[in-house]
A and B are shown apart, each in its own frame.
Chain A
Amino acid sequence: MARAPDGTSARQFGTLIGLLCLGCVLWILTPHFLTVPNLLNVLEQSAINAIVAAGMTFAIISGGIDLSVGSVLAFSGVVLASALQAGAGVPLAVTLALASAAACGLLNGLVVTRGNLPPFIATLGMMSIARGLALIWAEGRPISGFDETFRLIATARPLGVPAPVLITLLVYGVAHVALAHSVFGRSIYAIGGNEEASRLSGVPVRLHKTGAYVVCSSTSGVAAVVLTARLNSAQPTAGIMYELDAIAATVIGGTSLFGGEGTLVGALIGALIMGVLRNGLNLLNVSSFVQQLVIGVVIIGAVLIDTSLKRRR
């Protein structure tokens, strides 16, 4: 395996230790935390954010950002649900959902690379467009009620492990190969690190940058499938603020918002930290208002590390 750049391995180890410490503290504070059902529960709850964060990692490493993931999730969920209700089989409906998500990503990528818009603006636009499409398509109402085969995506427990957890692992496996070992992934790192140098080195910058947004939106599509199966319903209002959760997970995991640096393992640990934090605070009966505060503190802490490291270089 290609080694991560100097320093990031230490950084990741630190994040992992943070996660473990968090676990220890919760274990002391509440007897309900360290039980197999609860841990599986946390993994399942973290799945959706983790999946979206995997894609977000691509966008951020390429030097961009994708604010549209939550809306794309809602849109592709609605597509999925209407396909299922129209009698399409599960494979076809899932394919349609992923394709519609990927199409949003393609549009994001083209607007960024061909239209030369800042990713922030381009995906901000898409955030509204995809949300609008979802609301129009579903006429503002949730689409719900699917047969058991589809719901297995969320309810199946092969070997006792919730299916969404396995799907997350699959997404991370594929994404890891793509990011660390493929030409595409290497190019994403290079583009995020120095776009002009990459271009002058003959890297097809526009192609790969567009690819990063397609990957990012596609993972939102995967998350939409899991969420729809989990809730047995696709809501056009689903996924609001998910972009921020995903960015937070990515950033807590050590991915630099300046691009060029970051890892998927970090994003996964980041998503787990957020999941464990939410779960633990629920178990401790801390109100959701305080939860928001705590998560904010964690995000700022994580970013402070990144910037203090940057300054030291």
Chain B
Amino acid sequence: MVWRRSARTIRKREASTRSRRFERRLTRRTFFLPVGTVLIAVALGGVHAACNRPATDAGTPGRGRIAFVMKTLNHPFFLDMKRGAEEAANRLGLDLVVQAAERELDVEKQTQIIENLIQTGVKALCVTPSGSKEVVSVLAKATRAGIPIVIADTRVDPDAAAAANVKLGTFVGSDNYEGGRLAGEFLLQSTDGRARVAILEGIPGHETGDSRLRGFRDAVARAPGVTIVASQPANWERDQGFTVFQNMLQAHPDIDALFAANDLMALGAVEAIAATNRTGKVRVIGFDALDDARAAIEAGRMAASVAQSPRDMGRLAVESADRLIRGETVPADQTVPIVLVTKTSTEGR
């Protein structure tokens, strides 16, 4: 009790009672405030946890608990995936924990979350990796803990995974390359092979975005009439999609088609196009077929979007996890179908 002794000696030295009182008050405050704050904070967290629990615990008497760690939970795509996963978990009577880092980019936080969930003894782990290579080291920990792993949406770097002895249960996703190719084909069809194209890329170095771009580029490379005049990252974000495409339009006013590696960027670009009164003059093709994007297609502000049903992905991931827990074999690669959403296709529905 060093602090208390020193406080007492200080007190002894103080001449006046007033300053003695002051000193005592000081020590008491310094001591209790941090404690109080932390307690309140924990209480807040605890209450939240308590509120969360019953919902997930309800249907799971004794069945396993599985974790689904997403890239982020503030993107409609992943929220759809979560919905699919929850539906499957409810049906199968599994206790599902869904978590994500605050920011999509934050591999270190995702790593920490996975580490923490391993500690809680989950029966299986579903992950949409924030980084194809970075996530490998923590997956190795899961393998060592004997937890089956399901990878969703974004592939893990196979070499890195092999080097770290990571045992991957299965990959559930859509073929992003195929999706990109589909978008490219649509462009060629709808423009008769003549277009000046801009591309909005996702965060560089992500397997998902890279595959989509490769697919798109490979498809349009066959047509000599198509030139790619600009290709820049807008980091998956709507606001960046707006500014980056606005700048592209400044530099190349003759752009007549845009491929965005996801719908958020495409929707940002749509706003940029509207801001320069060019709605309808630039064919915008997006990816993910978000509700907003479907509406934009309906309204003629976007031409098409590649739909890769995240809900099915979430469902399939949890089902695969369930089968892995039971010791059944699951194919190493499972894809969910990809379709192109266009105005004609939506009218048809």
Complex contact flag A–B (Cβ < 8 Å): yes
Listed in ascending order, the chain A residues whose CB lies under 8 Å from chain B are 6-7, 9-11, 13-15, 17-19, 21-22, 25-26, 29-30, 32, 35, 37-38, 41, 44-45, 48, 139-142, 144-145, 151, 154-155, 227, 230-233, 235, 237-238, 240-241, 252, 273, 277-295, 297-298, 301-302, 304-305, 308-309, 312
A231 touches B131 (CB 8 A): yes
Given contacts A285-B49, A290-B48, A312-B25, 16 further A-B contacts (CB under 8 A): A7-B26, A10-B30, A11-B30, A14-B33, A14-B35, A18-B34, A21-B35, A22-B38, A30-B120, A141-B204, A231-B134, A283-B120, A285-B56, A288-B73, A288-B113, A312-B26
Task: Select one of A17, A252, A273, A297 contacting B31, CB under 8 A.
Answer: A17
A301 touches B46 (CB 8 A): no
Tell me whether B316 is interfacial, beta carbon within 8 Å.
Answer: no
A308→B32 CA distance, assembly (Å): 13
Task: Select one of B25, B102, B203 contacting A237, CB under 8 A.
Answer: B203
Q: How far is the CB of A210 from chain B (nearest CB, A)?
A: 30
B95-135 CB contact bits vs A (8 Å, 1 = yes)?
Answer: 00101111101111101110111011100000000010110
Tell me whether B52 is interfacial, beta carbon within 8 Å.
Answer: yes
B3 touches A9 (CB 8 A): yes
A154→B136 CA distance, assembly (Å): 14
Task: Select one of B39, B40, B97 contacting A285, CB under 8 A.
Answer: B97
A298→B44 CA distance, assembly (Å): 11
Task: Name B74's closest neighbour in chain A (CB-CB).
Answer: A289
If A14-B30, A142-B131, A235-B107 touch, does A290 touch B115 (CB 8 Å cutoff)? no
Tell me whether B336 is interfacial, beta carbon within 8 Å.
Answer: no
A277 touches B31 (CB 8 A): no
Please give, as numbers and ranges, the residues of chain A lying within 8 Å of B54 by CB-CB distance: none
A294→B113 CA distance, assembly (Å): 16
Please give, as numbers and ranges, the residues of chain B lying within 8 Å of A141 by CB-CB distance: 204-205
Please give, as numbers and ranges, the residues of chain A lying within 8 Å of B164 by CB-CB distance: 232
Q: How far is the CB of A25 from chain B (nearest CB, A)?
A: 5
* Minimum-distance CB pairs A-B, first 8: A301-B37, A141-B205, A140-B204, A282-B116, A284-B49, A231-B134, A144-B133, A18-B34
Tell me whether B92 is interfacial, beta carbon within 8 Å.
Answer: no
Count residues of B near A (Cβ-Cβ below 8 Å).
65
Please give, as numbers and ranges, the residues of chain A lying within 8 Å of B53 by CB-CB distance: 285
B44 touches A231 (CB 8 A): no
Listed in ascending order, the chain B residues whose CB lies under 8 Å from chain A are 2-3, 6-7, 10, 22, 25-27, 29-42, 44-46, 48-49, 52-53, 56, 73, 97, 99-103, 105-109, 111-113, 115-117, 119-121, 131, 133-134, 136-137, 157, 159-160, 164, 203-205, 233
Please give, as numbers and ranges, the residues of chain B lying within 8 Å of A305 by CB-CB distance: 29-30, 33-34, 37
A227→B27 CA distance, assembly (Å): 39
Please give, as numbers and ranges, the residues of chain B lying within 8 Å of A18 by CB-CB distance: 34-35, 37-38
A142 touches B22 (CB 8 A): no
If A141-B205, A142-B133, A305-B30 touch, does A32 touch B107 (CB 8 Å cutoff)? no
Task: Name B46's closest neighbour in chain A (CB-CB).
Answer: A29
B29 touches A142 (CB 8 A): no
